[in-house]
Chains A and B, each alone.
Chain A
């Protein structure tokens, strides 16, 4: 019996790790969308985290913990730089700036020999395992769930529903938005580094438009009424195409279609009912 599970696990190992990492990425999306902001930089930040983490492990030979930490800090800094001008403005500007960021970074990776260029960065040791990935996911998810039920969670919801009214209630909206953006960047970077350390390979094309939209689709499908929403969305949208082998090539179509259908027919996502925000 255990042998069978072992075999099953081995066959689906990458899927298992992928589910966990995508859930973390989904939470990074939640961090901004719960404030009513549309940042599409998750893939870009993921890429920064992946490359930084890989460099720290492979080129600098430092321990994994440091790789992960660096992978969170680097994109956070970039997010702060992008955020400062754009957060003062209406949401469209942030969306545009973050899409643009992804594009520019992709070109940078392609042209960098240090980072492996178009051939990608290979030979990354497999330091990520199920315990680390799911342990971090559990930690992050519980953090979100606890915060949701506190004054911070209420403030986020208030900002999402009516920014000016929230301001007048004494909520420092700009600080919240900036924190949300930086947090989302750090989590995306973490996801990227974990991904790099179980697939052993980073390709510059991984962090472009398609990935950004895929991550968005987790939050769209699951809804953002609760932090669990995007996580469930990630599980469904990651597992389904994998398990139904034939759907693999159709991933772009699948994700795009899901977003279109959900936005038109089920705008609040699957998990539409709210979790209460009192502790």
Chain B
């Protein structure tokens, strides 16, 4: 069946006395869209930083395609197929849109420096192919017309798309998306939703952190819920929606109890 792509086993991270992530374990299955949700401060972004290698884990182990990657430096993770976007959109502001995407392509551009320096035919071919591929990616996210615009001049929604295009440039196997819908209006969100579904159809595995419940519920195959750095639930969207612990985490104990009581009175699952 579908094999596990990324496995987190007992990942923990503390900053001094502050425990940001506590014994988190979950599995991302290949070809699925897996979401990590939880209230603010639950440790989601820290977890993402650990998976992409920008922050080292204090405990635990990370596996990617059966290979342990816990101590692997961030740039190597990109080479083995893990790509990511950032919560606060970190495109390269002064470069053009196309250049941003081409930068993302670094792991698969293999011509050595001396070949580049001498402008050998192989190097020139690779650069031309790269530009074509870059334009194709921009077309996929709908930014083809702005290929030569300055990245910082783009609208917020377009910058998000650019970041996704850049993350796709190296043909990753796993794409980490940190709050991709943040700051987007409903129209942009719908566009993003269809883009992500298209990516899943292309065979990409997605792991996203998100706040927007509607977005997550409609999109994901599997959801892991974090609270105070710990996993409190893990399963299909339907089950998560009804999970009392999740409801309590988001809405508080009183509301959770009230909802549970109402459900019991109605006598049937909501």
A residues near B, CB below 8 A?
143, 146-147, 150-152, 154-155, 157-158, 161-162, 164-173, 274, 276-279
Contacts and interface: CB of A to CB of B under 8 A. Distances in A.
Given A162-B90, A168-B52, 19 more contacts: A146-B116, A147-B113, A147-B116, A151-B109, A151-B111, A155-B103, A157-B99, A158-B95, A162-B92, A165-B92, A168-B53, A168-B78, A168-B83, A168-B84, A169-B75, A169-B106, A169-B107, A171-B75, A171-B106
A274 B95 CA distance: 9
Contacts of B52: 168
Contacts of A277: 95, 99
A162 B100 CA distance: 12
B117 A170 contact: no
Given A162-B90, A276-B99, A150 B106 contact: no
Contacts of B95: 154, 157-158, 161, 277
Interface of B: 52-54, 73-79, 83-84, 86, 90-96, 98-99, 102-107, 109, 111, 113, 116-117, 119, 123-124, 127, 130-131, 166, 170
Contacts of B107: 169-170
B99 A279 contact: no
Contacts of A172: 75
Contact of B166 (A155, A157, A169): A169
A155 B102 CA distance: 9
Given A158-B103, A167-B54, A171-B75, A279 B166 contact: no
Contacts, number: 97
Contacts of A161: 92-95
A146 B92 contact: no
B32 to A, nearest CB: 22
B99 A170 contact: no
25 contacts: A146-B119, A147-B116, A151-B105, A151-B109, A151-B127, A157-B92, A157-B95, A157-B99, A161-B92, A161-B93, A164-B90, A165-B91, A167-B74, A167-B75, A168-B52, A169-B75, A169-B103, A171-B103, A173-B75, A274-B94, A276-B99, A278-B99, A278-B102, A278-B127, A279-B124
Q: Which 6 A-B pairs have the closest CB atoms?
A: A170-B78, A170-B107, A279-B127, A165-B90, A167-B74, A150-B116
Given A162-B90, A162-B92, A154 B117 contact: no
Contacts of A155: 103, 106
A157 B106 CA distance: 13
Contacts of A152: 113, 116
A70 to B, nearest CB: 22
Contacts of B109: 151
B119 A154 contact: no
Contacts of B93: 161
- Among A167, A276, A278, max chain B CB count under 10 A is at A278
B104 to A, nearest CB: 5
A157 B107 CA distance: 16
B170 A170 contact: yes
Contacts of B54: 164, 167-168
A157 B130 CA distance: 18
- Among A151, A152, A167, A276, max chain B CB count under 10 A is at A151
B176 to A, nearest CB: 9
A241 B106 CA distance: 44
Contacts of B53: 167-168
A165 B86 contact: yes
Contacts of B94: 157, 161, 274
Contacts of A154: 95, 99, 102-103, 106
B76 to A, nearest CB: 8
A27 to B, nearest CB: 15
